[in-house]
Homo-oligomer: A and B are copies of this chain.
Amino acid sequence: MELGMIGLGRMGGNMAERLRQAGHTVVGYDHNPDVSDVSSLPELMERLKAPRAVWVMVPAGEATRATVDSLRDALEPGDVVVDGGNSHFKEDQEHAQLLAERGIGFVDAGVSGGVWGLKNGYALMVGGSGDNVTHLMPIFEALKPEGDFGFVHAGEVGAGHFAKMVHNGIEYGMMQAYAEGWELLEASDLVKNVPETFRSWREGTVIRSWLLDLADLALDADPDLAKLKGYAQDSGEGRWTVQTAVDLGVPLPVITAALYARFVSQQEDSPAMKMVAALRNQFGGHAVET
């Protein structure tokens, strides 16, 4: 089928490529004229036959909101918009409402797969009405990995990004678990070959996983990770996972600890630990570093 793709960056560009390989017609639009198939949103609309399907693959937040606003004006009743970015599930509900006022459908699609998705397929978690999701199934089928897994229609609008948010929260926890285990192995004199230990875990263990395969690749290239700084950004989903859980009264000790470890890694120095140092100095005359 025909699809408009707005945003042809690393993710959007590869997804368009995978869709074309599957025989779909993708008309891409991007601010960067070198990769864009059309020069304007109106031109994109002209190139697509109604009812149009337009996949938005731009950064969450202001960029997505601006794109939704533009599509609200440019599209026609019966068209449908897919937000494949990392929007908050509450934004989805606002966007769906804005578009619904013009008779335009909305589906949110959480997309996992990163740079490996072009080859392996993209796991999709989608939210929206049954009609809209059914209409878009040929696109979802082409994007998803082969086999029984990798796609779920999780619920109404927002459910796709909610599921993807939780997926990312779990991802934070898993990555931190491997990272802690690696640090502990490195800290001990007993285990002589840490990269080989990680590699051995790739088969037969309880902890085998794709992330572990990636850890092996990383250690293969840099056995002590000496080239890296212990600094990890966090995306919105990790924060939203924690905030949503707190709203719902759900304890997330592991996922939150993983998020906080990233926060700490982002700090030049820890204000809290200055206070701890100050207090130790006050009551015990403990030496402080200045």
Contact = CB atoms under 8 A, between A and B. Distances in A.
Contacts of A231: 273, 277, 288-289
Interface stretch (A19-27, A46-54, A63-71, A173-181): A173-181
Q: Is the interface of A mostly helix, strand, loop or mixed?
A: helix
A70 B208 CA distance: 36
Given A123-B201, A152-B193, A158-B190, A214 B282 contact: yes
A136 to B, nearest CB: 16
A81 B128 CA distance: 45
Contact of A225 (B208, B248, B275): B275
A183 B225 contact: no
Interface residues of A, number: 139
Residue with the greatest number of chain B CB neighbours at <10 A, chosen from A210, A257, A259, A274:
A274
A170 B207 contact: yes
Given A163-B191, A273-B261, A205 B279 contact: no
A215 interface: yes
Interface stretch (A29-37, A72-80, A98-106, A263-271): A263-271
A184 B152 contact: no
A205 B145 CA distance: 10
A192 B180 CA distance: 34
A160 to B, nearest CB: 9
Interface in A184-207: 184-188, 190-193, 196-197, 199-207
A13 interface: no
B277 A230 contact: yes
Residue with the greatest number of chain B CB neighbours at <10 A, chosen from A10, A170, A250:
A170
Given A155-B190, A193-B152, A197-B125, A180 B273 contact: no
Contacts of A169: 177, 180-181, 184
A209 interface: yes
Contacts of A170: 177-178, 180-181, 207
Interface string A247-261: 111111111111111
A255 B183 contact: no
Contacts of A242: 242-243, 246
B230 A270 contact: yes
Contacts of A182: 271-272, 275
Given A145-B204, A218-B275, 14 more contacts: A112-B205, A123-B204, A125-B200, A150-B202, A173-B174, A179-B271, A180-B253, A182-B271, A205-B210, A214-B283, A215-B275, A230-B273, A239-B247, A257-B257
